[in-house]
Amino acid sequence: MKRQVGAKNKAEVNRPHQSEGDVNFSERRRNWSKDNIDAPSRELLLRDENAFLHQSVSTPCLNTIKGAEGAYIIDGQGRRYLDFHGNNVHHIGYGHPKLKAAITKQMEDLSFAPRRFTCEPAVALAEKLIDISPGDLGKVLFATGGSDAIEMALKVARAKTGRFKTISFWDAFHGAGFGASSVGGEQLFRGQAIGPLLPGTEHVAPFACYRCPYGYEVNAEGEPDLSVCKTTCANMIKYVLEKEGNVAAVIAEPARAVPYNPPKGFWQAIRQACNDAGALLIFDEIPTGLGKTGRMFACDHDDVVPDILVMGKALGGGILPIAATLCHPDLDVLGDYAIGHYTHEKNPVTTRAALTTIEIIEEEGLVENAATVGQYALDRMQDMKSRYDLIGDVRGRGFLLGIDLVKDRVTKEGANDAAEEILYRAFDKGLSFKTTMGNVLTLTPPLITTKEQMDFAMDILEDAIADVSRQSRA
Ligand SMILES: Cc1ncc(COP(=O)(O)O)c(C=O)c1O
């Protein structure tokens, strides 16, 4: 029997909550599209829509892109946007000349390494990652994407501990694969339509001081009073580790992408709790690694070394896909099995891209730039917060920044509509970013962003926030 046109499938009935703000369908998006997309782009968008499976935060797309250079993207209509999103792949800027030259040369010298063969760039990259990573992480595996690298970490943790349970955060994202979605906490990736996920993947409420799931309030500076809350979010993990028993690993992003910084002492407490429970600690640094937060790794801020650190995204310099799982040498326990022997495991071109990317980050002092210009941006955001009630909180570190918009500073109800309006106004002025949880303007500039570019972005945001605030008062 043919499927009836118009009949709802199961996925349509169980629509998930949107944890990402700029959804595929909204009145404002339709209007923006009507006013801004020319005929050739419209045609390409239609072909895209017809050819790809539709999925949240992707297809149907908003616009077409025809250029990406430095900190900028150029859309199908030729408009330039300072890209404060870039999926966190663009640390060194798009199309860095040194990276393009290194990739081109590598393609000419050696373009692939089949099974049983290793090559210089793959080994050199493994050694370099061991060198720059915190503590005594000393063994590496490569994959082509972050989700796969997370799943390799889960397999290693299971093998080392002989256990299978994990503890992770609601609202976290660790990738789209089945294992990664199981430890992830976003309905978009694990909703009812997907069916059963991995067993034993327990979730707890995350640290989120401004909107503490345990109900504690922050002070006027947006800081938690730890003498009152007693870091309940950390205690809950300790509690679940004990009650569940036999947990293989706690897996989390050390700085959450919403963004949220951990409260002081949080990760030290979790490190100790994991040690006490015989569980491993896995840090997902896929967006934050290589300098995003103004230190080489976000966990460097907390002085905590995980047993496994996972990186990806910017590792390929914004051109090639590569991710890595770095483990403590004691975790080298699965020699008789294939943990993640992916086709492109030791690809000379992707590993050359990663090596060169790290070289560029070091040579150009990009981690330091993220720290300095990021602090400058945070100061400007604090100043805006002192003048606009629409802003409930500003937070972040380095170039992982967020402006949390509220309808009311007491109830903290998210100002989703205002956030979406500001997003499209910013597009009009040449700034691209994304909203998270519907109401947080989430800014993740490339590490090459200058103070002047940051001022350009902050001016656009401030104008839009001022306008939208005025309108909501009128
Ligand atoms: C924190 C985090 N973990 C994992 C992933 C998954 O990486 P990939 O899309 O390369 O599989 C992402 C991607 O956005 C991420 O932000």
* C-alpha R_g of the chain: 22
The angle at the Cα of 9, spanning 7 to 10, to the nearest 5 degrees, equals 145
CA distances from 225 to 221, 228, 378, 393, 414 (A): 11, 6, 21, 16, 23
Residue 457, in any domain of the structure: yes
Place of tokens 């400007």: 380
Atom number of ligand 1 nearest to Cα 149: 11
**Distance from the CA of 173 to the center of ligand 1, in angstroms?**
7
**Distance from the CA of 468 to the center of ligand 1, in angstroms?**
32
Specify whether 318 is located in the same domain as 382.
Answer: no
Residue 207, in any domain of the structure: yes
Residues lining ligand 1, CB < 6 A?
Answer: 145-147, 150, 173-175, 253, 257, 284, 286-287, 312, 323
**Distance from the CA of 444 to the center of ligand 1, in angstroms?**
14
410 touches 389 (CB < 8 A): no
Residue 117: CATH number of its domain: 3.40.640.10
Specify whether 397 is located in the same domain as 315.
Answer: no
Per-residue pLDDT of the chain (474 residues; tens, 9 = 90+): 555 545 555 555 556 665 555 566 788 999 999 999 999 999 999 999 999 999 988 999 999 999 999 999 999 999 999 999 999 999 999 999 999 999 999 999 999 999 999 999 999 999 999 999 999 999 999 999 999 999 999 999 999 999 999 999 999 999 999 999 999 998 888 878 888 999 999 999 999 999 999 999 999 888 999 999 999 999 999 999 999 999 999 999 999 999 999 999 999 999 999 999 999 999 999 999 999 999 999 999 999 999 999 999 999 999 999 999 999 999 999 999 999 989 999 999 999 999 999 999 999 999 999 999 999 999 999 999 999 999 999 999 999 999 999 999 999 999 999 999 999 999 999 999 999 999 999 999 999 999 999 999 999 999 999 999 998 776
**Distance from the CA of 284 to the center of ligand 1, in angstroms?**
8
Specify whether 452 is located in the same domain as 344.
Answer: no
Atom number of ligand 1 nearest to Cα 288: 1
Residue 29, in any domain of the structure: no
Rounded to two decimals, what is the model's pTM? 0.95
Q: What distance in Å separates the CA atoms of residue 84 and residue 463, rounded to the nearest whole number?
A: 17
292 touches 298 (CB < 8 A): yes
- Residue 325 lies in domain: 113-363
Residue 93, in any domain of the structure: no
